[in-house]
Amino acid sequence: MIRLVYVSTCAPGLSIDDVYAIMKVSQPWNVQHELSGMLCWSGEFFLQCLEGDRSEVSKIFAKIATDRRHHRVELLIAAPTNVRWFGEWGMGFSQLMASHRLDLPRGRGESFNPYLLEAVDLERTFEQLATFAQRLAID
């Protein structure tokens, strides 16, 4: 099993409805392929963690990386692991609002900039993001 975390910049004009459309496709796919993780959307950036079988993570990441709904996709980590951070969800969703404050040594500043995150900070970041997480009711 591996864990992959990347950051990206949303396409201009991307709306919450576009993000819901992504989640609607992602949740069943990820459950079916035993992928867990979390997608965080701040309005400007995405931060996503994907965990699962190496070939499954690689396949979905290849699609995600070429998706026109975001750009400047940069890997933060891709490493073997035995433990899932997000065992209970196919794909959690966390919308980071301006009012949400993250307690992080890096990557916060005036506004959240996940490109500044370092690998050692990621578990703590996702723990905090999980507290803002929603389970989306997707028809």
b vs e for 78-109, b when ≥16 Cβ sit within 10 Å of the residue's Cβ?
eeeeeebbbeebbbbbbbbeeeeebebeebbe
4: left (phi over 0), alpha (psi -120 to 50) or beta: beta
Smallest distance, ligand FAD to C-beta of residue 24, A? 9
Residue from the set 3, 4, 26, 52 that interacts with ligand FAD by CB under 6 A: 26
What is the C-alpha separation between 69 and 79, in angstroms, rounded?
26
Residues in region 55-94 near ligand FAD by CB under 6 A:
60, 63-64, 66-70, 91
Interface with ligand FAD includes 36 (CB under 6 A)? no
Count of residues engaged in binding ligand FAD, rule: CB under 6 A = 20
Structure tokens belonging to residue 11: 């396409």
By C-beta, is 46 or 107 nearer to ligand FAD? 46
Residue from the set 39, 57, 76, 96 that interacts with ligand FAD by CB under 6 A: 39
Could you tell me which stretch among 14-22, 74-82, 105-113, 118-126 binds ligand FAD (CB under 6 A)?
14-22
Smallest distance, ligand FAD to C-beta of residue 90, A? 8
Is the CB of residue 37 less than 8 Å from the CB of residue 50?
yes
Residue from the set 2, 5, 7, 22 that interacts with ligand FAD by CB under 6 A: 22
Distances (CA, A) of 92 to 11, 34, 45, 72, 109: 21, 13, 16, 22, 25
Contacts to ligand FAD by CB under 6 A: 8, 18, 21-22, 25-26, 29-30, 39, 46, 48, 60, 63-64, 66-70, 91
